Structure 1
Amino acid sequence: MNELRRILLVEDSANDAELVLAALSENHLANEVVVVRDGEEALDYLYRRGLFRLRMEGHPVVVLLDLKLPKVDGLEVLAELKSDPVMRMIPVVVLTSSREEPDLIRCYELNVNAYVVKPVDFNEFVYAIKGVGLFWAVINQPPPGALPPAPSR
């Protein structure tokens, strides 16, 4: 499979971002992981504006989204994506430390695709990311627009 399987990781914690990147890399689950540190950058990336206006076309096969983010929080990002007729097809997996029921309920009301609580234990964290990455970046059939068009011959 030569298709570019891009994941967008929206994570403000450098430590958590490194753990996610290490787990995905160790298991060869994506060709590219784009990391943004806040909700505003996530929206700029997805809508190809600001610093990301010249990025490659196509959407990520999945967005791994933390909830507690600076500038624009994860719930606002999720609400904006799922209310947009084009962006709502992009799978969004909330990857958070929040076990708060109101967060869980609100995410599902906003049509999140999955809600994963980050395990505290390192090995469990790696295992969880491996499972998320394997399903969303390899097994799941991505929505149209997630992969760049094939080059013309």
Structure 2
Amino acid sequence: MRSSARVLCLAFALGACSNAHDSVGATFPAGGGLYGSYQDTGLASWYGEELSGNRTASGEAFDPGAMTAAHRTLPLGSFVEVTSVETGRSILVRINDRGPGRKDRMIDLSRAAAHLLGTDGRQIARVRIRAIIPTMQDASLLRAGKAAAARMPAFTQAASFDALTVQPRWRSA
């Protein structure tokens, strides 16, 4: 009986956390866990030197040159792949802060992240974000504030897969 009550309390707690996301297109796994299969599409903005040195929600000082981002609900310390819908360019960032402050935006990128994504020339950009579990090397680089290995654009991955499809040389009668 005690373990059933604990499971029920945990389920309510996880449910309360996962409902905080405003975006209609967000997808969550059936088991109630948020991080593992999170993906969404929406608007991204970025912030830079004006907040340099301020404390983030994770307790570390904000570094506009680091590959970090702010998200309302994803766990602090988690990693996401951010893809520009316009260009198909993808980067990896570590979630270390809460935000964005505006409800119409889904994620706030650091200046360095926005620059690598190619979106720092404008205030907002349409992006797709997807929670990932990075390689050990990428995780180490991101924790150090550095860029992870270059990501292939989504449309290039699809084109590459189609190119590998082998057509049979013979036809059956």
Greater RCO (Cα-Cα under 8 Å, separation 6 or more): 1
> Which structure has the bigger radius of gyration?
2
Point out the structure with the larger helix share: 1
Point out the structure with the larger strand share: 2
